[in-house]
């Protein structure tokens, strides 16, 4: 088993630090990837801090992975040595349940195997992308189009697909009025993708401090949610609201912004419940929904869509030793708009 460098959490409260982990030997259907870049998702922070429940330590997180194939198993047909590839939030699923058979393996009824903090098929705990190499079964590995710069491609593997999936599912297109709540890693991708799909896009951010960026990234309108007038002005406006906020917000206030048959979909995953007053749903026959990552098919579709439309996230490269500082900046909503780890700094 190859031993590789990694950056791991050792408890819920201590800073992450350098370590080594073992990767499994490359199996017949496996691909060995030398990781070049790994994005920092707010989910990484929720996970290592135990906010979504207890986990086993040490834990390496990171599920926005891009790199180059350096070895393939004897039965691999989808990838070859030298290919530019990506790995997102899951590395396997049961492949037998109704949802897997429908190509929605992110909703595997037996639980998809998460890229980190998940029990793998061999019983070990999966370890994610803050590391120099990863071994993944070939059909959970994505092709990264040549036109997307490698470091920019990383955040697409989670932030990209997690926002693309609900936008595609609710058939956003020309004429759709879409609001994006929170303009961080996921939110800024939602703005870019919804704009490219032809929607009229509104950002609902805590303040106007990122307004100029929002408009440059493709938003048509930008409002501060700290201004109570925003909620009066925008009542009954949107077909789809994508909530990307990592903390608890007053979901009923946002539901009032939906027009007839509108849907508020939460991709944000705060540890606390978001209580819904049913009367908020009666008016305009509104829906409150959730959406988790996206399928492998959808992830490839999103990568190809981004290549075709020239979409890439706004990123700031950080060295491995700066991960803890980057976490603090994410928590302070001081990310513009995704931190990406230069994995060469882990070598």
Q: Under the rule (CB under 6 A), what is the footprint of ligand NAP?
A: 41-43, 46, 158, 162, 182-187, 205-206, 210, 244-247, 249, 267-270, 291-293, 330, 333, 335
Residues 11-50: x/- map of binding to Zn ion (CB under 5 A)? ------------------------------x-x-------
Residue 101 beta carbon to Zn ion: minimum distance, rounded to whole angstroms: 8
Q: Where are the beta strands (DSSP E) in 278-337?
A: 287-290, 315-318
Which of ligand NAP, Zn ion, none does 108 bind, CB closer than 5 to 8 A by kind?
A: Zn ion
- Tell me the closest approach of the beta carbon of residue 1 to Zn ion, in angstroms: 27
CA 195 to each of CA 4, 28, 77, 200: distance values in angstroms, whole numbers, following the listed order: 40, 42, 36, 7
Phi-psi category of residue 213: left, alpha or beta, with phi > 0 → left and psi -120 to 50 → alpha:
alpha
- With CB under 5 to 8 Å by kind, the binding choice for 320 among Zn ion, ligand NAP, none is none
Q: Which partner in Zn ion, ligand NAP, none is near 67 (CB below 5 to 8 A by kind)?
A: none
The yes or no reply on residue 94 touching Zn ion (CB under 5 A) is: yes
- The Cα 327–Cα 335 span in angstroms is 9
Q: Which is nearer to Zn ion, 76 or 100 (CB)?
A: 100
Closest among 39, 92, 89, 26 to 66, alpha carbons compared: 39
- Cα(22)–Cα(20) distance, integer angstroms: 7
144 interacts with Zn ion by CB under 5 A: no
CB nearer to ligand NAP: give 69 or 201: 201
Q: Which of Zn ion, ligand NAP, none does residue 293 bind to, with CB < 5 to 8 Å depending on kind?
A: ligand NAP
Min separation Cβ 159 and ligand NAP, Å: 6
Could you count the other beta carbons within 10 Å of the beta carbon of residue 291?
18
Minimum separation from the CB atom of position 311 to Zn ion (A): 18
Minimum distance of ligand NAP from residue 268's CB (angstroms): 4
- The percent of the chain in helix, strand and coil, each rounded to the nearest 5, is 30, 25, 45
The CB-of-194 to ligand NAP minimum distance in angstroms stands at: 15
**DSSP states of 43-102 as a string?**
HHHHHHTTTTS---SSB-----EEEEEEEE-TT--S--TT-EEEE-SEEE--S-SHHHHT
Structure tokens at 180: 């994006």
Among the listed residues 47, 93, 131, 299, the single contact to Zn ion using CB under 5 A: 93
CA angle 241, 246, 247 (to 5 degrees): 100
Residues binding Zn ion (CB under 5 A): 41, 43, 93-94, 97, 100, 108, 110, 158
């Amino acid at each position: 088993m190859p031993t590789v460098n990694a950056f791991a959490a050792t408890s819920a409260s201590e800073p992450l630090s350098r370590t080594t982990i073992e990767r499994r030997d490359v199996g017949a259907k496996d691909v060995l990837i030398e990781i070049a870049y790994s994005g920092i998702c707010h989910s990484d922070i929720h996970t290592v801090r135990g906010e979504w429940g207890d986990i086993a330590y040490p834990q390496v997180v990171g599920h926005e992975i891009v790199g180059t194939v350096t070895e393939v198993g004897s039965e691999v047909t989808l990838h070859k040595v030298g290919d530019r590839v990506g790995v997102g939030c899951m590395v396997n699923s049961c492949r037998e349940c109704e949802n897997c058979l429908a190509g929605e393996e992110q909703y595997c009824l037996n639980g998809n195997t998460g890229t980190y903090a998940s029990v793998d098929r061999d019983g070990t705990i999966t370890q994610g992308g803050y590391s120099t190499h990863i071994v993944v079964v070939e059909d959970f590995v994505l092709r990264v189009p040549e036109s997307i710069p490698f470091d920019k491609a990383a955040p697409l593997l989670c932030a990209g697909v997690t926002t693309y999936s609900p936008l595609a599912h609710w058939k956003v297109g020309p004429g759709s009025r879409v609001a994006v709540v929170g303009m961080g890693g996921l939110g800024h991708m939602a703005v870019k993708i919804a704009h490219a799909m032809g929607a009229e896009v509104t950002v609902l951010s805590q303040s106007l401090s990122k307004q100029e960026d929002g408009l440059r990234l493709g938003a048509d309108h930008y409002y501060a949610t700290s201004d109570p007038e925003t909620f009066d002005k925008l009542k009954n406006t949107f077909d789809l609201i994508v909530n990307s906020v990592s903390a608890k917000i007053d979901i009923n206030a946002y539901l009032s912004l939906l027009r007839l048959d509108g849907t508020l979909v939460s991709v944000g995953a705060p540890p606390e419940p978001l209580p819904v007053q049913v009367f908020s749903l009666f008016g305009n026959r509104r829906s409150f929904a959730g959406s988790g990552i996206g399928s492998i098919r959808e992830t490839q579709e999103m990568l190809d869509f981004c290549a075709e439309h020239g979409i890439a996230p706004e990123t700031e490269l950080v060295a491995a030793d700066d991960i803890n500082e980057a976490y603090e900046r994410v928590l302070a909503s001081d990310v513009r708009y995704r931190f990406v780890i230069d994995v060469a700094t882990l070598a």
